[in-house]
Structure 1
Amino acid sequence: MSDQPESGRAAAPRGSRARVDLWIVLAVVLLLILAVVWVGARAALAKGHLERAVTDVGTLRSQLGDGDTTAAQQTAKQLENEASSARSLTGDPVWGAAQYVPFFGTNLRAVREVSVVVDDIATGAVSPVASVFGGLGTDSFAPKDGKVDLSPLVKAQPAVARAAATLTKAGRDADAIETSDTLSPVTTAVNQLRNAVRSASDQVDTANRVVQLAPAMLGSDGERNYVLLFQNNAELRAGGGIPGAVALLKVQDGSISLGDQAAGSSFGPYPKSVLPLEPGTRTLYGEITGRYMQDVTLTPRFDVSAELAREMWKQKFGQQVDGVLAIDPVTLSYILRATGPVQLPTGDTLTSGNAVQLLLSDVYAKYPDPAVQDLFFASAASAVFDKVSSGSFDAKEFIGALTQGTQEGRLRLWSASASEQQQIAGTRLAGELPQVTEQTRQLGVYLNDGTASKMDYYLQKTVSVGSSVCRSDGRPTSAVEITITNTAPADAATSLPRYVTGGGAFGTDPGKIKTLIAVYAPTNAIYLGSSQDGEQVPVQTVMDDGHPVVQLQTLLAPGESTTFRVAYLGETKYAKAAVDVLSTPGVQQSKTLPLRFDCADPTAAG
């Protein structure tokens, strides 16, 4: 028997190898199918956990709003479990490898990163804060026997600080998620996460500042004294209203009381400004800003107003206070929702429904003597304060009232402590000039009364704002439009008290309203132009603390209205930021409306 050729012996292994290669290919395909099924199944489970986590967030907000801390703690634990499960499901080696598959991998990576962010928030923000909920309900802020228990606030400081830091990092991580090639549902989910984290971060940042500041500012380390300015919106100042009444607020270890009280008119005139004024402040608002207590809020910069008020208090009473707080009758009306009606020594009943009209209008007809009016304002403020300090109020409504007043620019706070003021800075409490960030470009619309009367009770204001990229270099154009109307009765000159109309004593005919409107832009903005009622109009242009400002004076008879529009050019890097407006709070809160304009002439009437 002859031997088989070598070529014949080699043929069998080749066929065998082919079968082996086929089985390998089939095995790889099967593994890929299993991997896809594995990833798909885990993705579906992770999606369910994330959706339930979102539901838990909504439930948690409602429970916190209702002050149900026990239920909130349970929901927080559920949220932590759902987030942890989603993170675990998207963190195994198969999922990790699948993230590098073309197209689909980008979506899987985004889902994984969303799960990580949600879990980080649950463990680093929600859980720590939930752990102190039991000792920090809304009732924690209610005085007992005239004293606020500061210990729950002190206890909450580390947890709330950790939550704020976690949300700040979560915001950066959410913004870093790549969505340029993701499917629409994934892109939408990522954008929703970014918006939710941004909103939560802002809220927790504010809460953190309050928790860190409140104990010291309420006298945990010793007695504190603050000047309290009661602003009257019937005579507008850029910062709110004329400081008609001034009082000393004394606090120590959570115990709060009112000290000396005086009419705003009793401070000044001083021979010169009690403190040096910056050139912009002096040019726009005059030396009187620092010579009369009633004029310290002519500037919208509350830090300037507060330092001037503090110095005037020192010169009058020889006392150096620790800070300044400003409040207006509209905020008092909000607080009355929490306290219920209060009785005044005059026999009047002050309620949430009648406070604004009684304090800003009816009082002038009922008590023509300005000295009696001052006493009436002081008694009203004292009566509301006594009700609050006794703890006889709805704590949830009270916090809501302070929050609303702050958001509307009616409540301001300044501390003489540099470290405390740094915590206040950047919040609505600070009363700062317009700022610009990657998220928001602010403009400022500030009104000052020029009538020297209380006619601004009848001044109605509407503000509209819009933005568009009109230039090839990408710089955004922003336009703001202000319409003011004198809604006083046609016979205001004779039907309203002389003290309200001014009686023509300062050069304005009775019944008419003279107003100075100042429009501010952020630093580095460029003024483009302005118009009044569709026509180009000469204006005063000034720089105030690096901010370009345009100011116009108007004079309106009863029933008359005028519209002022101003346009500014912003920086390219902030072109995508939403545009917003800070505005002087009047008797009625005005909403900011959207504004469309022609890029060829953004100041032209629409």
Structure 2
Amino acid sequence: MLALLVFAVVWVGIRGFLAVGELQAAVPLAQAAQKQVVAGDAEAAQKSADELAGHAASAASLTGDPIWRGAEVLPGIGPNLQVMRVVSSSVDRIARDAVVPLASSAGSIDLAAFAPTNGAVDLQSMVDLQQPMHGARVAFDSADAALATVASAPVIGPLADARDELTALVADGGATVTALDNAVRLLPAMLGASGSRDTLLLFQNNAELRSLGGSPSALALVHADGGTVSMVQQADSGDFPKFSPTVVELPIETRALWGDNTASYIQDVNFTPQFPLAATIAREMWKRQFGTEVQSVVAVDPVTLSYLLRATGPITLTTGEVLSSENAVQFLLSDVYRNYAVGQQDSVFADAAAKTFAALTAGGLDSKALIEALAQAGTERRILIWNADPQEQAILADTTLAGGLPVSDEQTQNFGVYFNDMTGSKMDPYLDVQLGVGTVTCRNDGLPNYEIVVKLTNTAPADAATSLPTYVTGGGEYGTPPGSIRTSVHVYSAQGTYNLGVMLNGEPTGYHPTSDTGYTLSKVVSMLAPGESAEYRFGFLGGSAGEKDTRLESTPLVYTPETLGVALSCESALW
């Protein structure tokens, strides 16, 4: 028995030492293969990938034999061996099922394929990537799930650092691969690979906030056929009547929260934070007004346009202004209201949209910058996509592009904070927003308390009532004094949680507790004069014992909101 024990220790020790060497050799090869795949250097990428796969397979083999698995039950050393095995097998899985297939396709991977040239996109390049990209996604998902099983295993410091570093790399790489997998599966269909396709573009104006971004100030119809894309029609909110009765039958909770205007006015379709509903309404309004039933609806905002201008370079408007990635947001959400009469503003927005679209489809743009711009806008929820085809829409499920309500799971509690302009103005570039979330458990039953902090400040000049145009301030037409900002704030918790109330600057305040499609939520309405601030604290009680990681998603604003640190204790918690 003693001899067997000594043999096992030596066996595991030697194989563990060898496995560490194999993994150390694999790291630089993985980095090299990634760069070579992106560069389209097929020969070099294949060589690096094959070497990587060899080292990774060796590490997995060295840590996966029966003696090693049997030693994993030993106290102390066992968890370390288990983590070593899972790390090795995860690297092997990614190398075998992700890196090697993608390296084999490196010759056909060309970032320029994702960018139009002369109004057309090469769809075949995307189709050729569908199989290897989806296989890579499955590999990353499997590795991520395996690493999650040993995330909290008590292991020695160096191994813990390696595990955590690999987990972070797999998460980041998996997010990129998932996004690309979604793109190569969805874009060919949306660009007319199987026949002509019409898409409605909504340009959301963040100067007048809506839950999903901003009031749709300009719209366009984009026609695609076989990868050839053209903008065939433009309209603005003034081209639509008030529809009575509503164009769709609204859910009872939606009507209670935002009224029938959501399905009566094109400017208000995105009061709801559920983009599938907003897109369905906008699609029906466009069909009734212009006769075309689109298959997709895509929403973007001026901030997205500024990101895209990094790829296209500056554009010159018909009026002579030059828009760049640095000045587009300032011009479109502020300067245009000072420089042009109300009747001219919509035409300026339409011209900016058309010129940007023309620059994007003409060719010659920076493909890498285009992909980075789209990725950033997507992460910030500035691009939203809805497809009438359920199978196509399913590809977007659980991504930020789908524009659904926040989804929580066993590890994460997600909250949504949504803003709607109630001033009837374009004052929201002056609305400074700070957001934070904290949690603490003080109850004997283990249910956690959550607090979401929303701090709002009106940064408009003290003389905003007279120094800003009436169209910007609203002129008091809807009951808000010129210069003030009136905003509704809806904070969505998760299904199964409990509403605990709202504090305003440390004191209880009136609020509207309600629900939406099963989500618990609280609503308040803020009114701020120039220079005023308000700090709201929304309280919720978890529906099950145990604290989770907390995350916030919010309405995409003109600027990215500052994140507040929220440290709660049982003594400081307001509930």
TM over 0.5: same fold?
yes
- 1:175 paired to 2:148: yes
Deviations 1:469-502 (A, max 9, x none): 2322222221110111111111111111111111
Which of 527, 533, 537 does residue 555 from structure 1 map onto? Answer: 527
Secondary structure at 1:158 match in 2? helix
- Cα separation, 1, equivalents of 2:13 and 2:532: 67
- Cα separation, 2, equivalents of 1:489 and 1:67: 53
Secondary structure at 1:572 match in 2? coil
Q: How does 1:46-61 map to 2 (within 5 A)?
A: 46-60=19-33
Q: CA deviation at 1:40?
A: 2.3
- Cα separation, 1, equivalents of 2:475 and 2:72: 77
Match of 1:512 in 2: 484
Q: How does 1:117-132 map to 2 (within 5 A)?
A: 117-132=90-105
- Cα separation, 1, equivalents of 2:419 and 2:70: 61
- Cα separation, 1, equivalents of 2:60 and 2:431: 56
Deviations 1:360-403 (A, max 9, x none): 111111111x2211111001110011000011310111111111
- Cα separation, 1, equivalents of 2:479 and 2:40: 54
- 1:384 paired to 2:364: no
> Are the counterparts in 2 of residues 228 and 326 from structure 1 also a CA contact under 8 Å?
yes
Deviations 1:204-261 (A, max 9, x none): 2232222211111111000110110011111111110000011101111111110111
- 1:305 paired to 2:305: no
Q: CA deviation at 1:169?
A: 2.4
Match of 2:328 in 1: 355
Paired amino acid for 1:285: W
Which of 186, 204, 217 does residue 213 from structure 1 map onto? Answer: 186
- Cα separation, 2, equivalents of 1:561 and 1:109: 53
- Cα separation, 1, equivalents of 2:451 and 2:408: 15
- 1:411 paired to 2:415: no
Paired amino acid for 2:136: A
Secondary structure at 1:452 match in 2? coil
Match of 1:251 in 2: 224
- Cα separation, 1, equivalents of 2:505 and 2:234: 44
Deviations 1:294-344 (A, max 9, x none): 000111111111000000000001111101001110110010011111111
Deviates more, 1:282-291 or 1:170-179: 170-179
Q: CA deviation at 1:576?
A: 4.5
- 1:590 paired to 2:561: yes
RMSD after superposition:
2.3
Q: CA deviation at 1:533?
A: 1.0
Secondary structure at 2:218 match in 1? strand
- 1:451 paired to 2:423: yes
- Cα separation, 1, equivalents of 2:44 and 2:218: 44
- 1:494 paired to 2:466: yes
Q: How does 1:96-111 map to 2 (within 5 A)?
A: 98-99=71-72, 103-111=76-84
Q: How does 1:286-325 map to 2 (within 5 A)?
A: 286-325=259-298
- 1:538 paired to 2:510: yes
- 1:40 paired to 2:13: yes
Deviations 1:399-453 (A, max 9, x none): 1111111111111110011111111121000111111013321111111001111
Match of 1:338 in 2: 311
Q: CA deviation at 1:63?
A: 5.6
The change in CA–CA distance for 1:75 and 1:144 in structure 2 (over 3 A counts) is same
> Are the counterparts in 2 of residues 265 and 293 from structure 1 also a CA contact under 8 Å?
no
- Cα separation, 2, equivalents of 1:180 and 1:342: 54
> Are the counterparts in 2 of residues 581 and 592 from structure 1 also a CA contact under 8 Å?
no
Match of 2:242 in 1: 269
Match of 2:551 in 1: 580
> Are the counterparts in 2 of residues 333 and 352 from structure 1 also a CA contact under 8 Å?
yes
Question: Normalised by the size of structure 2, how large is the TM-score?
Answer: 0.94
Q: CA deviation at 1:178?
A: 8.8
Which of 465, 474, 478 does residue 450 from structure 2 map onto? Answer: 478
The change in CA–CA distance for 1:138 and 1:593 in structure 2 (over 3 A counts) is farther
- Cα separation, 1, equivalents of 2:472 and 2:74: 75
- Cα separation, 1, equivalents of 2:33 and 2:496: 42
Paired amino acid for 1:353: E
Deviates more, 1:47-56 or 1:154-163: 47-56
> Are the counterparts in 2 of residues 567 and 602 from structure 1 also a CA contact under 8 Å?
no
Q: How does 1:89-238 map to 2 (within 5 A)?
A: 89-91=62-64, 95=68, 98-99=71-72, 103-177=76-150, 180=153, 182-238=155-211
> Are the counterparts in 2 of residues 486 and 561 from structure 1 also a CA contact under 8 Å?
yes
Q: CA deviation at 1:195?
A: 3.9
Deviates more, 1:188-197 or 1:139-148: 188-197
- Cα separation, 1, equivalents of 2:12 and 2:542: 47
The change in CA–CA distance for 1:329 and 1:74 in structure 2 (over 3 A counts) is farther
- 1:400 paired to 2:372: yes
Secondary structure at 2:479 match in 1? coil
Q: How does 1:5-84 map to 2 (within 5 A)?
A: 29=3, 33=6, 36-60=9-33, 72-84=45-57
Deviates more, 1:58-67 or 1:250-259: 58-67
- Cα separation, 2, equivalents of 1:470 and 1:251: 57
> Are the counterparts in 1 of residues 33 and 99 from structure 2 also a CA contact under 8 Å?
no
Q: CA deviation at 1:601?
A: 6.0
Paired amino acid for 1:446: Y
The change in CA–CA distance for 1:69 and 1:270 in structure 2 (over 3 A counts) is farther
- The alignment-based identity, stated in percent, is 43
Question: Normalised by the size of structure 1, how large is the TM-score?
Answer: 0.90
Secondary structure at 1:594 match in 2? coil
Deviates more, 1:200-209 or 1:133-142: 200-209
- Cα separation, 2, equivalents of 1:213 and 1:47: 40
- Cα separation, 2, equivalents of 1:398 and 1:576: 39
The change in CA–CA distance for 1:91 and 1:514 in structure 2 (over 3 A counts) is closer
- Cα separation, 2, equivalents of 1:247 and 1:321: 11
- Cα separation, 2, equivalents of 1:348 and 1:326: 25
Deviates more, 1:84-93 or 1:257-266: 84-93
Paired amino acid for 1:303: P
The change in CA–CA distance for 1:36 and 1:447 in structure 2 (over 3 A counts) is same
Paired amino acid for 1:515: T
